[in-house]
Amino acid sequence: MSVLSGKKILLGVTAGIAAYKTAFLVRLFIKAGAQVKVIMTPAAKEFVTPLTLSTLSKNEVVSSFTKEEDHGNQWNNHVELGLWADYMIIAPATANTLSKMAGGHSDNFLMATYLSAKCPVFFAPAMDLDMYKHPSTKENFAKLISFGNVMIPATSGELASGLTGEGRMAEPEDIVAFIEDHLIKDLPLYNKKVLITAGPTYEAIDPVRFIGNHSSGKMGFELAAAAHDAGADVILISGPTHLEKPRERIKLVRVQSAREMFEAATKAFPEVDIAIASAAVSDYRPKISADQKIKKTGETMQLELVKNPDILAALGEAKKDQLLVGFALETENEEENAAGKLKRKNLDFIVLNSLNDKGAGFKSNTNKIKILFRNGAGKNFDLKTKKEVAADILNEIIILSNA
């Protein structure tokens, strides 16, 4: 999911040949989960049709102060549109439009809306290379940036004039990536690296049998998505699960056994700022794992188990400035056992699940937690979806990170 998911984007299209790219741009915004409305200058309709952009955006395209089909009897409210948007993007932004924006000239509906907008405004210049380098254009760039607008720089390439040089509008996918990267910088975990372990581990008995548990990995994957959406670079180390990577930018490392998870987690830990150990790691593994399928030869079978490495304890021992969070799934003496684990493993806080709580535990889409902190304080949460629980946990991490 993109940081643009659920956001309202107002796209202003002006009269440049690069306007044809806005069809692709609208598609990408929609794919990112945004709502899109389009304003066109009257001349822009000569380069791309309102029908194309309205079909792709699923909203009527506006280009004038009145609705032409109503013979001017119905007014399009530029103030309302300006207030509706979370972000306004003007692409392509021609030299003519940039001059109007810098000078505050309001001679069309797009300019009136721009001057009314309360949201962040991005602009993507598009023009011939001599126009792009002209002193007046550079002055307009500087002026708009001083207003708080954000410039998406043009690139070099073949231009409509036949010349090759700077002035080509950034490609739609690069515009979306630029905006996403810009927005991420304002998120609370921007520039933080977060390590999350998730799911079960499978300890092989033979090539077809294993020791494992019922963990689905849902909680860890929701935590990874929440950390990503808060701006973090996320490494998600997951045991066997059917779940797919929740966000494109998350680094997903798939493992099978506790020893594989131990190696991956301890290797990544020195480079991260925050670690959340939500995986349900098998405490023991078979001492010997057979190379071939074990045949049924008697009424009983003895299996000797040895202890697996304690991932959370190892991270707690190696901990320096990192914030370390653990999970405890208990069935009795819940708080006492969780508090002991918190202390022994050098955690900043521990998330307690009780299998005695209806709707909590493995496989479910919900969870009920209590967070225990190092200072002895505790915080109870109601039964919620795992997505909401992940948001609650991340919120506590953000608070501690900023303390």
Question: The domain spanning residue 103 has which CATH number?
Answer: 3.40.50.1950
51: tokens are 């029908």
Average pLDDT, the chain: 91
Half-sphere exposure of 232 (CA within 13 A, CB side): 27
Whole-number pLDDT of residue 250: 94
**258 phi/psi in degrees, rounded to 5:** -65, -40
Crossing angle, helix 311-318 and helix 258-268, to 10 degrees? Answer: 20
pLDDT per position as a tens digit, 246-264: 988 899 999 999 999 999 9
Given 165, 184, 203, the domain boundary residue is 184
Whole-number pLDDT of residue 167: 86
Residues 62 and 155 in one domain: yes
Asked if the structure places residue 296 within a domain, the reply is: no
> Strand 305-307 and strand 203-204: pairing?
unpaired
Catalytic position from the list 59, 77, 96, 213: 213
Given 136, 151, 184, the domain boundary residue is 184
Asked if the structure places residue 210 within a domain, the reply is: yes
Residues 268 and 368 in one domain: yes
At residue 307 the predicted structure's pLDDT band, cuts being 50, 70 and 90, is very high
Residues 162 and 308 in one domain: no
| Closest listed residue to residue 53, CA positions, set 32, 69, 35, 39 | 39
Residues 177 and 204 in one domain: no
Report the distance separating Cα 225 and Cα 183, nearest Å: 16
pLDDT per position as a tens digit, 175-201: 999 999 899 888 999 999 999 999 999
| Closest listed residue to residue 374, CA positions, set 396, 354, 355 | 396
SS3 at position 167: strand
User: Are residues 63 and 45 in contact, defined by beta-carbon separation less than 8 angstroms?
Assistant: yes
Residues 367 and 322 in one domain: yes
Torsional sign, CA 380, 385, 390, 395: negative
For residue 70, pLDDT beyond 50: no
For residue 371, pLDDT beyond 80: yes
Residues 131 and 32 in one domain: yes
Report the distance separating Cα 288 and Cα 201, nearest Å: 17
Question: Please, what is the Cα angle at 253 between 174 and 344, to 5 degrees?
Answer: 125
**Domains held by the chain: number:** 2
Asked if the structure places residue 173 within a domain, the reply is: yes
Q: How far is CA 237 from CA 109, 113, 194, 390, in A?
A: 51, 47, 11, 16
Whole-number pLDDT of residue 329: 85
Residues 131 and 198 in one domain: no
Asked if the structure places residue 89 within a domain, the reply is: yes
Q: How far is CA 161 from CA 15, 39, 157, 165, 207, in A?
A: 15, 26, 11, 10, 65
**213 catalytic residue (yes or no):** yes
Peptide bond into 92 cis (omega under 30): yes
Scored b (16 or more CB within 10 A) or e, 376-397 reads eeeeebeebebbbbbbbbbebb
Report the distance separating Cα 247 and Cα 180, nearest Å: 13
Asked if the structure places residue 357 within a domain, the reply is: yes
Given 135, 155, 184, the domain boundary residue is 184
pLDDT per position as a tens digit, 48-57: 999 999 999 9
Report the distance separating Cα 57 and Cα 346, nearest Å: 51
Asked if the structure places residue 2 within a domain, the reply is: no
Residues 179 and 237 in one domain: no
CATH number at residue 363: 3.40.50.10300
Residues 170 and 215 in one domain: no
Asked if the structure places residue 118 within a domain, the reply is: yes
Report the distance separating Cα 294 and Cα 173, nearest Å: 53
pLDDT per position as a tens digit, 10-26: 999 999 999 999 999 99
SS3 at position 102: helix
H, E, C per residue of 6-37: CCEEEEEECCCHHHHHHHHHHHHHHHCCCEEE
Half-sphere exposure of 289 (CA within 13 A, CB side): 14
Its domain, for residue 49, covers 8-184
Q: Cβ–Cβ contacts within 10 Å for residue 118, how many?
A: 11
User: Are residues 7 and 86 in contact, defined by beta-carbon separation less than 8 angstroms?
Assistant: yes
Asked if the structure places residue 297 within a domain, the reply is: no
For residue 281, pLDDT beyond 90: yes
Residues 229 and 140 in one domain: no
Q: Is the pTM of this model over 0.85?
A: no
Residues 158 and 199 in one domain: no
Whole-number pLDDT of residue 77: 79
Tokens 């098998």 map to which residue?
282
- Cα dihedral angle (354, 357, 358, 363), rounded to 10 degrees? -10
User: Are residues 89 and 175 in contact, defined by beta-carbon separation less than 8 angstroms?
Assistant: yes
Residues 227 and 179 in one domain: no
Instruction: Output DSSP code: residue 64.
Output: S
pLDDT per position as a tens digit, 118-166: 999 999 999 988 899 999 999 999 999 999 999 999 998 877 777 787 8
SS3 at position 90: strand
Number of H helices, E strands in the chain: 13, 21
